[in-house]
Amino acid sequence: MYFEPMANKTYKNLLIVESPSKAKTINKYLGSDFKVMATVGHIIDLPKSNLGVDVENNYEPQLDTIYGKGKVVKELKKAIPKEGDVYLAMDPDREGEAIAYHTSVELSLKKPKRVTFHEITEEAVKKAVANPGEINMNLVEAQKARRVLDRLVGYKLSELIWKKIWYGLSAGRVQSVALRLVVEKEEEREAFKKEEYWEVSVKLKDSDKNIVIAKLSTKEGKKYIPKNENEVKDILEGIGDSKFLVKEVTVKKKSKHAYPPFTTSTLQQSANTILGYTSKRTMSIAQALYQSGYITYMRTDSVYLAKKAIDQIKKLVEDKYGKEYIPQKPNYYKNKVKNAQEAHEAIRPTDFSLDLSQIEKEHGKAAVMLYELIWKRAVSSQMSNKEVEVLKVSLKPKDLDKPEYIFTLGGERTLFDGFRRVLGNKKDADDLQEISKLRRGDELEKVEFVNEQKFTQPPARYTEASLIKKLEELGIGRPSTYSSIISTIRGRGYVEFEAKAIFPTDIGRVVTNFLRGNFKRLVDYKYTAKVEDDLDDIALGKKEYVPVIDKEYKSLMENIKKADKEVNKEDVVILGKSDEKCPECGGEMVVRIGRYGKFLSCARFPECKGMRDLNGQEDSLDYGKYFKPEKCPKCGAKMVLKNGKYGKFWACEKYPECKGIVPLLLNEKCPKCGNHLVERKSKWGKTFIGCSNYPNCTYIKGSKNNEQT
């Protein structure tokens, strides 16, 4: 429902926002002259059941009133004052501008006043209301272009994928590029060939009997890493029992500058790395904090801080930590993102002295943790540099001139912690005290060599943090889209998560291969970034809506027509041949991709429907942990392990004649009701163990509530 804070009939002005929470906060700051109401998001949108874009008439979107919003529009119309003004106070970005415009059109407003603010505080709200502007139609056009282009690409491309792979799959303009990144990272890992190398270190004892460890660094002046055990043996035999001589001791002082305050991208990255939050959860919490007036607007690619905020931080730092923690001049940061303009300020608290108990009371502990992350980053961004002393010691075997092997050890000592006083500090090297005593010409006695065989590792899979960082580096997407991009490819079953790592599913690979093979331009990184630049140019008034959309749509339809003619469905869904024989006719079988992964299918399909599960991996299942049902609960037939959209499950071997299924249960029983326990995932993607008899039994393993009962 929309938010109607008061039944006041004497108000002169109506102020409309998109969020009930935002309306509630703003209502505290405006007097009885104002009535504050909310649209509860968009009130009109493209239809779900058809394309909704008139491609023959300048690509005009055919917008419908969203189901349930008719009543909202009706109530808003009734609330329009006869003599006063209507203020549209939606969020300060393209989407907010579009909601403001659509609201104006639906309510038939003649001269609405557009007000924007980047923090919901009394000062900011009153200042905005006192200085209203007009709806920025360039921003509206840019948002319309994004929405229409995404609909055209998604709708038309998905239609083709339904024909060439199977019904229900989909593709998107930006999501498909993100999926390509994940797939190509996995291909890079699979193509990786590990190489052996050895880490050679020597344990040494100085004149005071202190032990230090130096690592082999160079050979004959060049970086050197032994590749095999024979090379290591040559090194050890050459050095023998020689003492080690300190060749050089270098001491350097370094200054480490503070990090800029958070943008949308860096907030999502840090929250994922430090707190383990998904980007979706981060943005959900950040939005709640913004709407309650605790932080500035959470969708921004700017690192700028207002003078008011810098002054607040300066006073806080001086009072709490001392003048030495304040730099001579305020720290300013340069925006690295091209066309950074989604908002005018970085993400920061609106009040740096806020009592955290108020946030916890309203939004919970998770919100407090995110708020603290934002607070620390904003405050530390305006603090002095960290000053460190870096020590490096180079040693060589005393009795060996050729070849010259150099071993090094070093450490770092903090002289002044600076911004790290707030942001947190890394520990200095434990052995720095011993190292600092070494001088050029000192001799150390060899205690022993420490040699370790290692192998090079494949590149790490993307996490949400690293994927968002990569998307931003490539110029793909914008602050408001990163969370939805990842949520979309995950929701479609194209990727899965293992801890924090993202890896593609079989169907994710098939869709990516299909697009790479037939729509190279569409999933090209530079091309996708160029489209984002075009949308930015529309927002800046440099380009017009119709030419941009027309160019992209016509190119897309040419590719679709070509692929529709040239691509055979069997070439897409059949991945290769199998040595196994069909259980129905004894003929050859092929590896086919299905909705839930790979399976074996008769090569004569659809004449013969013989098939066999390939991806359940029943033999590898840990039966000490998981329960294996003896028979189908519906027909009594054998159960086979299968992979589904939400993981493994047991299904009747007579499917599709019998649709009996059993979830992948644990052998462990519920202590409350005696049913099997099962692994589940929370809405934020975290795995927990609960009773399979939910909702009749709400037991959750490890829950404090259960422990208390």
**Active site positions, annotated:** 297
Sequence-distant (≥ 6) Cβ neighbours of residue 532 within 8 angstroms: 475, 476, 477, 478
Our CA angle for 193, 198, 202, nearest 5°, is 165
* Total count of residues recorded for the chain: 709
Q: Give the number of other Cβ atoms within 10 Å of residue 313's Cβ.
A: 25
Structural contact between residues 295 and 367, judged by C-beta atoms closer than 8 angstroms: no
Q: What angle do CA 97, 102, 107 make, to 5 degrees?
A: 130
Please name the helix (run of DSSP H) or strand (run of DSSP E) that holds residue 12, with its range, or none: none
Rounded to whole angstroms, how far apart are CA atoms 283 and 289?
10
- Residue 151: closest CA among 177, 174, 169, 180: 174
In the beta sheet, which residues pair with residue 613? 599
First to last CA, the chain: 37
Q: Is the Cβ–Cβ distance between 16 and 88 less than 8 Å?
A: yes
Q: What region, left, alpha or beta, does residue 436 occupy, with left being phi > 0 and alpha being psi -120 to 50 degrees? A: alpha
Distance CA 117, CA 296 (A): 9
With beta carbons less than 8 A apart as the criterion, state whether 205 and 445 touch.
Answer: yes
**How far is Cα 6 from Cα 13, in angstroms, rounded to an integer?**
13
Can you list the pairs that 496-502 forms with residues at least 24 positions away whose Cβ atoms lie under 8 Å? 497/685, 500/272, 500/276, 500/463, 500/464, 500/465, 501/460, 501/461, 501/462, 501/463, 502/182, 502/461, 502/462, 502/463, 502/464, 502/467
Q: For residue 168, what are its two tokens?
A: 């229900």
What DSSP state is assigned to residue 273? Answer: I
